[in-house]
Structures are given as structure tokens and as C-alpha cells.
Amino acid sequence: MGMTQHIRIASRASAMATAQVNWLMGQITRTDSAAVPEFVPITTAGDRWTGPLAEVGGKGAFTSAVAQAVLDGRADLALHCAKDMPGDEPEPDGTLCLYPPRDDVHDVLVHPGGRKLDDLPAGTRIGTSAPRRIAQLTASHPHLTIVPVRGNADTRLRLAHVGDVDAVILARAGLRRLGREAEATEIIDTDRMMPALGAGQLALQISADDQNLLDLLTPLTDAAATRAALAERALLRALAGHCHAPIAGHATPTAAGGLHLAARVYSPDGSVMLAAARTGPDPQTVGDAVAQDLIAQGANDVLASSRRS
């Protein structure tokens, strides 16, 4: 029998984040009966602020506040959605990320009236603020009206249920973690709505010198998910992107043990779409190659135009 090991898990405390913490706690206690997981909830400036995210340090403000708890020694592990980890700021020295098996990567439509995208009449109000979703939806369904919405997934669902919007687009993985997957009225095909880089992927960030914790968590990791996450992350970093940039991409394992990475960069209204794809054995190389291909097509200018708009 090992010595009791307390594992303090830093995370945001939204309903979705809390569900993720509960999942991880269960995994940890199943893996090592001597481990005692504890939740260290982190409230970020972004949780309190309801105005534009850019004014509280952008999307990265959430994940960096959670990571800071590990850097400060207030927690042993920072639990993130990989999708929310920005690629445009340096990662803190001295930490590493571990990746458990990936969840579903699809976006879904939640229309309380039960409809699918193709059945919605002109002017139907769709709540979403993600530039990636806005660009793709505007291109595929220009007659729909996009309404910016902020807040957690449960807040957005409520807006649809009270009729502030007619429907919302959310990540299937997030809906599932809230126990509300049955509310999805359409699982949107990835060709029409390519997922965010890191979609459906949790990341466990620990101190690189915490060998005990690394040993304890390694059985929870998944090799294929890790390779996909590394390729998608390499691409996001090379484009200096984040989940509030109109970038989509998805790495999938190949039968030969390598991976295939497809990605797209959009103008804000989706009228410009750059696309690239590569297959190869090394995640970093594949991610960099797709990024270089997109950059050669003008990705930096397309992304700069979306920052100005």
C-alpha cells in the first residue's frame, strides 16, 4: 500500500468544468487507491466579467489563471479544455500536458423547437460567438442571423430555452459533460463545421519535475489522443491562433500509426477559406507543415483581417 497522496486539481468552476473535475477525480481514485484528489476552484477575471473577452486578457485569461495555481504551488494539476489553451502566448516554463482519450469533436445545434440547420427559415437567430462557427455558418447558411452570446454552455442553453435566441451551437463534448446531450437536435457534419483545434480534448497540466504525479497519471493518457493534440497544438502555435480565431482543424490517427491533419482558416464571413492537409508520422512535423501550407496561402493576412473586424 502506497502513502496517501493528495492531488489538488485546479480548474474553473463552471458546470462543465466541475463535471470534468469529477470525471478526473474518479479516474484518479480508480488508478491509485492511495490518491486523494481535491478540487481547487479558480475564479478568473473572465468569469466575473460579462463584457468583451479581449478586455480581460482574451481567451487565454482562463487557462493561464488555472495554470498559475500549479506554478504557485496552490495545486498539483491544472485541468483544461485543450481547445481553450491559446497558441499565441508562450507556455509557462516547467510544465507539461498529458492527454486522456479524446471525446467527440462535433459541434451540435440545440434548437428547442426540434429543427435542424437546413430546416430553419431565414432570420432564425443562432446564438454563437466563436468566429470559427460564425464563419462556417455564414458560408453554409447565409440566411440565418447570428447573435453573439457570452457565458458558459449552460448559460447559452438557457438563452435558447427562454427564447432570447432560437437556437445555439455548442460542442457535443461539453453538452455531454453537462448531461444534456439529448438536447442536441443535429450533430453537425465536420465537413460543414470543422471542429476547433483541441475540440473534445482535456489537458492535464502538471509541473515537469513532479515525477510521482507523472507516474500516477500516465495510465490515464491515450497515445492516439496525445499525438493528435500535439499536432493540433503545433499548428495553433505556428499560426499564433486561439479559440477566438477563425481556425478549424482536426487530426485523426491513420492505420499506419501516423496521423492525418486537416485544417482551415476563414475570413470572418467565411467567404475566404484556406485549406491544407498532411499525413505523416511525427505530430510536430505534420502540424508545422500544415501551418506553413496555410501561411503560404495567406493565412496570416486572413487572420489579421479578422482581428481588425
Ligand X SMILES: NCc1[nH]cc(CCC(=O)O)c1CC(=O)O
Candidate ranges 30-38, 67-75, 77-85, 179-187; the one touching ligand X (CB under 6 A): 77-85
Name the residue whose CB lies closest to ligand X: 174
- Using CB under 6 A as the binding rule, whether residue 173 contacts ligand X is answered as yes
The least CB distance from residue 281 to ligand X, in Å, is 26
Alpha-carbon span 214 to 220, nearest angstrom: 10
**CB under 8 Å, gap of 24 or more: what pairs does 116-123 form?**
116/185, 116/186, 117/141, 117/144, 117/186, 117/188, 120/144, 120/166, 120/167
Task: Please tell me whether residue 260 adopts helix, strand or coil conformation.
Answer: strand
Q: Are 245 and 230 in contact (CB under 8 A)?
A: no
The least CB distance from residue 91 to ligand X, in Å, is 18
Pairing of strands 186-187, 202-207: unpaired
- Using CB under 6 A as the binding rule, whether residue 83 contacts ligand X is answered as yes
Q: Name which of 10 and 272 has its Cβ closer to ligand X.
A: 10
- Using CB under 6 A as the binding rule, whether residue 108 contacts ligand X is answered as no
Q: Are 106 and 250 in contact (CB under 8 A)?
A: no
Binding mask 45-64 for ligand X (x = CB under 6 A): --------------------
- Using CB under 6 A as the binding rule, whether residue 165 contacts ligand X is answered as no
Reading phi first (left if > 0) and then psi (alpha if -120 to 50, else beta), residue 49 is in beta
- Using CB under 6 A as the binding rule, whether residue 110 contacts ligand X is answered as no
Report, as residue numbers or ranges, the catalytic residues.
83-84, 132-133, 150, 156, 243
Instruction: Report the site for ligand X in 236-265 (rule: CB under 6 A).
Output: 243
What b/e string do you get for 37-55 counting C-beta neighbours within 10 Å, with b at 16 or more? bebbebebebbeeeeebee
| From candidates 24, 171, 194, 272, binder to ligand X by CB under 6 A | 171
In the complex, the residues that contact ligand X under the rule CB under 6 A are 81, 83-84, 153, 170-171, 173-174, 199-201, 243
